[in-house]
Amino acid sequence: MTQTGGTVALTTIYVRMNSVTLGVNAGDITHVSAGTTDPDVSVTGNVLEAEPTVQSTITIGAVTNSTVVVNFAGGNGARRILLAKLAVPVDSDPVDGTTYAANANFGSGTQLGAGNFVVYDGVGNTQLVTGLTAGATYHFAIYEYNNGGFAGAENYLVPGGVGNATLATYSVPYVWIGLNGDWQVPTNWLPTRLFPATNDSLLFTSAAVTETVTNVPTQTVGYIGVSLLTNTTLQAAADGNILTIGNLTGTDLFVDAGSSLNISGSNALIANLVSGANASITGAMTFSTGAHRLTATTAGAISFNNGSVFTAGAAFAGNAFGNTGASANSVVFTGGSTYQQISGSNPFALVQPSSVVVFNTGSLFRLMAELTPSVSGRTYANFELDYTPVVTPITAGGTALLTMDTLTVTNGSITFG
């Protein structure tokens, strides 16, 4: 530009980069003019490798209820990237000059657009994709590219080669053999649980053994069963982890007579039954040292059967079966079952007359601590007070009708008014 005086009009200056260096190139452009400040402008650009000309094709290999083998061959790029998407075809292509992070566990790699995840990046021709949902369909797209070995020099061939696979729906039974062990260690299960699926059946059958299973993650499974006089305690890996249960037909959570399934530890663990799932408890269950939960949203989904005992144990906090309206009437204590309260909030959880818990005729509520029970507008079957007084007698009152079949004071004292 030639300018002999005055002010230079607003002018767009175009710069053409001509570099033999692949990848990201950066530098400064300085405008020099006598008698003025010389402005510097930083510029960057990408030099791309040549684009491949032949795309790979996809074939599907072995399919299980949580994994799929994706094969790809025939392309002429030095490398290739594989995208996966749940339910619908991949709808976002990789962008030239961009490096993506791949992870074989679906959902853990870089996401392109909405729901397109990078599950492979490399020079090979096959990938085992994990972390998938049983019965679901996944779509894949493969893209050949060259980068000359430099990040930022990627030149992708689009559109990609495509394929899809529907996962199996069968449930794999896994038996816990880890005793006092880590849930997430695959060899603590038989067979080895390398790739957890959303419809796995988990069996605790250690036969008259007391065991603590640690590091329980947020996870979805189809079934959990405790039997053969096994006493299993679960402890969460992190506070608020959710163990979602129920993708199969029949009972989804089962605790046999003489067995127990407990939750302890300061990290709260929430065992949640999916809509329509059910639990049958004939053994024992204790929550202690944390705000643990067993929740459902279907009326009558959780049944404590004749002979079963639920205990809100030492240092337990909150309502054991949740406190949302969606959980109303979801827990039933049948005749011969017992709810024991040592700590925590009342089992009803909701404002009367609504309740999460239903006490059927013949069931027992046993208060074993100096806590004020919820009585206004409440219906118990048999009510027992059994605690050693610490400060003063318990006083419980309200304006709505309290219904009980029997009241037994074994230890302590209570005044209703």
Instruction: Tell me what pLDDT residue 34 has.
Output: 66
- Asked, for residue 5, whether it belongs to a domain, the answer is no
Q: What is the pLDDT of residue 38?
A: 67
What's the mean per-residue pLDDT of the chain?
Answer: 94
Identify the pLDDT of residue 28: 75
Where a domain ends, among 123, 141, 166?
A: 166
Across 217-356, the runs of DSSP E, i.e. the strands, are 219-221, 223-226, 231-236, 241-245, 253-255, 260-263, 269-273, 279-281, 284-287, 293-295, 302-304, 309-312, 331-333, 338-341
The identity of residue 15, as a single letter, is V
pLDDT, residue 83, reads: 99
Q: Please write the tens of the pLDDT for every residue from 35-83.
A: 667 677 787 777 789 999 999 999 999 999 999 999 999 999 999 999 9
pLDDT in tens, 178-200: 999 999 999 999 999 999 999 99
Task: Indicate if 231 and 299 belong to the same structural domain.
Answer: yes
Q: Which of 25-29, 119-123, 180-184 has the least mean pLDDT? A: 25-29
Q: Which residues pair with 270 in a beta bridge?
A: 242, 293
Buried b (16+ CB within 10 A) or exposed e, 203-231: bbbbeeeebbbbbbeebbbbbbbbbebbb
Whether residues 122 and 146 fall in one domain: yes
Are 211 and 310 contained in the same domain?
yes
Q: Are residues 275 and 188 in the same domain?
A: yes
Query: Which residues, in sequence order, are bridge partners of residue 174?
Result: 202
Q: Is residue 186 part of a domain?
A: yes
Domain boundary residue, one of 166, 196, 221? 166
Span of 3-7, 128-132, 162-166, 410-414 with lowest mean pLDDT: 3-7
In a domain, 36, yes or no: no
Q: Are residues 128 and 69 in contact, defined by beta-carbon separation less than 8 angstroms?
A: yes
- Tell me whether residue 196 is in a domain: yes
Domain enclosing residue 104, as ranges = 57-166
pLDDT tens across 207-223, in order?
Answer: 989 999 999 999 999 99
Rounded percentage of the chain residues whose pLDDT exceeds 70: 95
Contact between 231 and 259 (Cβ < 8 Å) = yes
Task: Give CA torsion, residues 107, 111, 114, 116, to 10 deg.
Answer: -70
Shared domain check, 363 and 314: yes
Pair 66, 83 in one domain: yes
pLDDT at residue 21, rounded to an integer: 67
Please state the pTM of the whole predicted model. Answer: 0.84
Same domain? For 71 and 131 the reply is yes
CB-CB contact of 228 with 257 (8 Å): no
Residues 377 and 283 in one domain: yes
Asked if residue 226 and residue 121 are part of one domain, the reply reads no
Pairwise CA distance, residues 359 & 370, whole Å:
21
Tell whether 159 and 177 lie within a shared domain. Answer: no
The answer to the question of residue 222 being in a domain is yes
Do residues 343 and 200 both lie within one domain? yes
- Number of domains, the chain: 2
Does residue 2 lie within any of the structural domains?
Answer: no
> What does the pLDDT read at residue 35?
63
368-387 core/surface letters (b: 16 or more CB in 10 A; e: else): bbebebbbebbbbbbbbbeb
Q: Which of 136, 166, 196 is the last residue of a domain?
A: 166
Confidence check: pLDDT of 323 > 70: yes
pLDDT of residue 26: 78
CATH of the domain at 99: 2.60.40.10
182 and 161 in a common domain:
no
Judged against a pLDDT cut of 70, whether residue 12 lies above it is answered with yes
- pLDDT tens digits for range 269-287: 999 999 999 999 999 999 9
Q: What pLDDT, on a 0 to 100 scale, did the predictor assign at position 5?
A: 59
How many other CB atoms are there within 10 angstroms of residue 363's CB atom?
23
Average pLDDT over residues 254-268: 98
